[in-house]
């Protein structure tokens, strides 16, 4: 099907996208690193126990050492203000802008971005967000279930799916297929479903690929020509790329290395990501809420002797994503990592549970977009691996390769 393309004045000068200033202290970057994980963590004094905010280098009360600890995210709104004028290029485009002070249940008073529905004395839930410039920002939303999306200020911190045009890089595998279904169900205007070859006669009658609002196109991330042709077929605006391509095969390093499979894993996971990013980044950069979501294995965090080539390729992918995040920051395009453990699909038949259902991964990607979360771990294996990696990467490397 053909999507209704956005109408705009063809003579209007291209709109430049600005992002909030990225300059922060090292302590503030540490907060951003935790915010990226979706944690609500503040510094607390290891001696007197007082939680503190904004981030600093020593306890403001007793000069004790500070440690990052997860804290309750509840708060009470103390006061509000509306900013109508700013010299900041980003905020100028989004005036008026509401901010407020809240008393965090954790103790400190914090300056926060304020949801439209909040007023002084209201109970609030404070979300640790990543702003368009890539830095942590506190955003207070009403406690309980509220429609956050109606607030344009909130939409600046997340990636809406409804009405957007999305590319799923590999809709042939189980995760990609589930992703197409999920994004379509979440109201994407058009989901472009990339299909690596060989094309099958059954593609033309496939229940998911023939949904109204889904367009199947040939796309093979191992082929630069194919990626370029896919981009030319999409042509118009593209808001979100979800990269679901991967090549999972068992194999070691010296024992049963399977060089063909190992090379292919790198072609798909690492080079494939680069090909997608280099082709689609300019399209995403021109959009108000562009995002590049990569679904990668938690094997990226640590070598895995049983599938050494795959783990190495996913590690390369993880590394490239970090560089891509840096490159896209200036354009305000969010680069999101969704880590998963073994998936309950044809690639992991030999792996015992727990395995993650493809539909759950798809739901997590939608959730990551709608909450603007930079990093998500889906399922027990990915969550456990990430936790252990954050705690003691050297120990994890040993334990995973005993």
Partner 1 sequence: MTDARTLIADLASAIAGGGIEIVDLTNLLSPDFPVIVLPSEFGQCEPFRMETVSRYDGNGPAWYWNNISMNEHTGTHFDAPAHWITGKDVPNGTVDAVSPQDFFAPAVVVDISAEAAADEDFIVTRPFLEAWEQANGPIPPRHWVLLRSDWSKRVGTLSYLNLRDDGAHSPGPDADAMRFLVHERDCVGLGVETVGTDAGQASHFDEPLPAHSILHGNGRFGLQCLTGLDRLPTFGAMIVAMPLKIKGGSGSPLRVAAMIPA
- Nearest approach in angstroms of CB 348 to partner 1 is 14
For residue 194, list its beta bridge partners. 217
**What residues between 245 and 274 interact with partner 1 by CB under 8 A?**
260-261, 264
- Nearest approach in angstroms of CB 179 to partner 1 is 22
Stretch that binds partner 1, among 120-128, 138-146, 221-229, 370-378 (CB under 8 A): 221-229
**What residues between 11 and 30 interact with partner 1 by CB under 8 A?**
none
For residue 293, list its beta bridge partners. 242, 336
Shortest CA distance to 369 belongs to which of 217, 183, 236, 216? Answer: 183
The token pair at 144 is 């309980």
Q: How far apart are the first and last CA of the chain?
A: 52
Count of helix runs (H) and strand runs (E) in the chain: 11, 15
What's the distance, CA 297 to chain centroid?
Answer: 14
Of positions 69, 222, 278, 383, contacts partner 1 by CB under 8 A: 222
Q: How many residues bind partner 1 (CB under 8 A)?
A: 18
Residue 201 or 394: the one with the smaller Cβ distance to partner 1 is 201
Q: Does residue 344 bind partner 1 (CB under 8 A)?
A: no
Which residue has 């990915």 as its token pair? 382
Decide: 325 and 355 in contact? Cβ < 8 Å.
Answer: no
- Nearest approach in angstroms of CB 128 to partner 1 is 42
- Nearest approach in angstroms of CB 224 to partner 1 is 6
Residue 176 or 196: the one with the smaller Cβ distance to partner 1 is 196
Residue 349 or 391: the one with the smaller Cβ distance to partner 1 is 349
Residue 125 or 170: the one with the smaller Cβ distance to partner 1 is 170
Q: Does residue 224 bind partner 1 (CB under 8 A)?
A: yes
Q: Does residue 226 bind partner 1 (CB under 8 A)?
A: yes
Stretch that binds partner 1, among 21-29, 110-118, 215-223, 302-310 (CB under 8 A): 215-223
3-state secondary structure of 87: coil
Stretch that binds partner 1, among 49-57, 102-110, 220-228, 379-387 (CB under 8 A): 220-228
378-394 burial, b at 16+ Cβ within 10 Å, e below that, comes to bbebbbebbebbeeeee
Residue 79 or 260: the one with the smaller Cβ distance to partner 1 is 260
Which helix (H) or strand (E) segment is 125 a member of?
Answer: strand 123-130
Residue 37 or 222: the one with the smaller Cβ distance to partner 1 is 222
The DSSP symbol for 297 reads E
- Nearest approach in angstroms of CB 201 to partner 1 is 5
Query: How many other CB atoms sit within 10 Å of the CB of residue 259?
Result: 9
**What residues between 176 and 205 interact with partner 1 by CB under 8 A?**
197-204
Query: In which order are the strands placed within the sheet that holds 66-70?
Result: 51-52, 41-45, 66-70
Q: Does residue 225 bind partner 1 (CB under 8 A)?
A: yes
The DSSP symbol for 168 reads E
Which helix (H) or strand (E) segment is 303 a member of?
Answer: none
- Nearest approach in angstroms of CB 207 to partner 1 is 15
3-state secondary structure of 181: helix
Binding site for partner 1 (CB under 8 A): 197-204, 218, 220, 222-226, 260-261, 264
């Amino acid at each position: 099907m053909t999507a209704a393309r956005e109408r705009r004045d063809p003579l209007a000068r291209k709109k430049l996208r600005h992002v909030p200033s990225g300059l922060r202290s090292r302590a503030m970057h540490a907060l951003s690193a935790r915010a990226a994980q979706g944690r609500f963590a503040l510094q607390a004094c290891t001696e007197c126990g007082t939680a503190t905010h904004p981030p600093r280098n020593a306890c403001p009360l007793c000069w004790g050492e500070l440690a990052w600890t997860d804290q309750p995210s509840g708060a009470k709104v103390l006061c509000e203000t509306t900013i109508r004028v700013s010299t900041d290029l980003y905020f100028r485009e989004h005036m008026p802008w509401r901010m407020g002070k809240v008393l965090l249940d954790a103790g400190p008073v914090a300056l926060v971005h304020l949801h439209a529905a909040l007023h002084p004395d209201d109970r609030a839930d404070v979300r640790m967000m990543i702003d368009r410039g890539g830095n942590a920002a506190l955003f207070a939303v009403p406690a309980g279930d509220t429609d956050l999306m109606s607030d344009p200020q909130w939409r600046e911190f997340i990636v809406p799916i409804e009405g957007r045009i999305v590319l799923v890089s590999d809709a042939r595998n189980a995760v990609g297929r589930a992703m197409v279904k999920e994004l379509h169900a979440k109201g994407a205007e058009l989901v472009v479903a990339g299909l690596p070859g060989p094309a099958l006669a059954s593609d033309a009658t496939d229940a998911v690929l023939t949904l109204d609002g889904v367009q199947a196109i040939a796309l093979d991330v191992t082929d630069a020509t194919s990626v370029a042709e896919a981009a030319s077929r999409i042509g118009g605006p593209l808001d979100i790329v979800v990269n679901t391509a991967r090549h999972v095969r068992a194999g070691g390093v010296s024992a049963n290395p399977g060089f063909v499979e190992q090379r292919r894993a790198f072609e798909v996971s690492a080079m494939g990501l680069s090909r997608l990013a280099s082709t689609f980044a300019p399209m995403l950069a021109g959009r108000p809420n562009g995002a590049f979501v990569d679904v990668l294995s938690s094997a990226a965090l640590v070598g895995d002797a049983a599938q050494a080539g795959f783990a190495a390729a996913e590690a390369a992918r993880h590394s490239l994503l970090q560089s891509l995040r840096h490159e896209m920051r200036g354009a305000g395009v969010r680069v999101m990592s969704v880590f998963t453990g073994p998936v309950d699909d044809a690639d992991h038949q030999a792996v015992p549970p727990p395995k993650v259902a493809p539909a759950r991964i798809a739901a997590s990607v939608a959730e990551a977009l709608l909450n603007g979360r930079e990093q998500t771990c889906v399922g027990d294996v990915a969550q456990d691996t990430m936790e252990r990696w954050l705690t003691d990467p050297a120990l994890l490397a040993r334990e995973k390769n005993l």
